[in-house]
Structure 1
Amino acid sequence: MSTRTPRATATHLYQLFDDGDMEGLGDVIAADMVDHNPVPGATSGLDGMRTLVAAVREGFTDTKHELIYQGETTDGWVVNHWRMTATHTGVWFGTPATGRQVSFTGTDLMRITDGKITELRHVEELLQLNAQLTA
């Protein structure tokens, strides 16, 4: 059982994205996590999250997640509104590298049990991102 708070677990996930720490994902993601919006072609769970982190790392460098808002319920749900900034230096879901700086936001709702994310609902502002990549 983890001594990390639900908020700290959620925050740590973004650091793992920024660091590209695929091994560290197992510290915060339950193997059978339910992702209600997995990456196209990926499964739910820890392996699906590894697929997402790999896609972000392949498409972008200098990624930085900033928490804009974080809240927590008494029953283990954490909501995060975040902004990611990065440089588009690789292929991102079919869009070739542009070298452009990007900034977009997203919102995640995570259920955290015993220090691990067991359920995830997320929405990324992909229109913001797409407009920056194709303008």
Structure 2
Amino acid sequence: MTKDANTATQETLGGILEARDWSRMGEAWHEDVVDHDPAPGQAPGLAGIVDFWEEFTTAFPDVTLEADPLVVTDDFITAVFTIHGTHTGPFQGHEPTGRSFTVRGIQVSKFVDGKIAERWGSTDQKGIEEQLQLGSSDVRFVSEG
């Protein structure tokens, strides 16, 4: 595929995440996507990605992702991003705190036939724990859009 095709898919994914239209996630992700950094208990493939985002946006309904920079090749997109959210719903065993967080993260997506086939990512989990005052826990999540 080309940089332009991958960028178009990334933009589609951003629109899906913004609209919270989980039924469209297959437009951006392969059904059998390999997530190299899944959240605890996350199912494999597209179903796991969808389940994660449903839980995450229920826990943090105002979540936003701002990518800067975005590095695009014919096979990969690397996004460095800032993520903001307010903890108003249960998340990974933690009751809502009402507190907000702002942290940075990175995601690398490998594209095959215009869809994400593999992902690697890391977000400042410790920063989220501290800002939400969750204490020492195993808060882990995929990040991206």
Which TM class, normalised by the smaller chain length? 0.7 to 0.9
Kept in 2: contact 1:18–1:62 (CA 8 A): no
Kept in 2: contact 1:59–1:97 (CA 8 A): yes
Q: How many residues are treated as equivalent by the alignment?
A: 134
Q: Which residue in 1 is equivalent to 2:6?
A: 6
Please state if 1:59 is matched with 2:59: yes
Given the superposition, is the C-alpha separation of residues 38 and 6 from structure 1 closer, same or farther in structure 2, using an over 3 Å criterion? Answer: same
CA distance in 2, matches of 1:131, 1:5: 38
Q: Which residue in 2 is equivalent to 1:94?
A: 93
Q: How does 1:110-129 map to 2 (within 5 A)?
A: 110-129=109-128
Kept in 2: contact 1:89–1:97 (CA 8 A): yes
Q: Deviations over 1:34-91 (max 9, x none)?
A: 11111211222100101110121121111111012110223x1110011111211011
Q: SS at 2:40's partner residue?
A: coil
Structure with the largest fraction of strand: 1
CA distance in 2, matches of 1:133, 1:46: 28
Kept in 2: contact 1:18–1:65 (CA 8 A): no
TM-score with structure 2 setting the length: 0.82
* Partner AA of 1:101 in structure 2: S
Moved over 6 A (4+): none
Q: SS at 2:95's partner residue?
A: coil
The runs of 5 or more residues in structure 1 that have no matched partner are none
CA distance in 2, matches of 1:8, 1:67: 15
CA distance in 2, matches of 1:128, 1:107: 14
Q: Which residue in 2 is equivalent to 1:47?
A: 47
CA distance in 1, matches of 2:29, 2:73: 19
Given the superposition, is the C-alpha separation of residues 127 and 83 from structure 1 closer, same or farther in structure 2, using an over 3 Å criterion? Answer: same
CA distance in 1, matches of 2:19, 2:6: 20
TM-score with structure 1 setting the length: 0.88
Superposition deviation, residue 32 in structure 1: 0.8
Kept in 2: contact 1:15–1:65 (CA 8 A): no
CA distance in 1, matches of 2:21, 2:80: 21
Q: Which residue in 2 is equivalent to 1:31?
A: 31
CA RMSD of aligned residues (A): 2.2
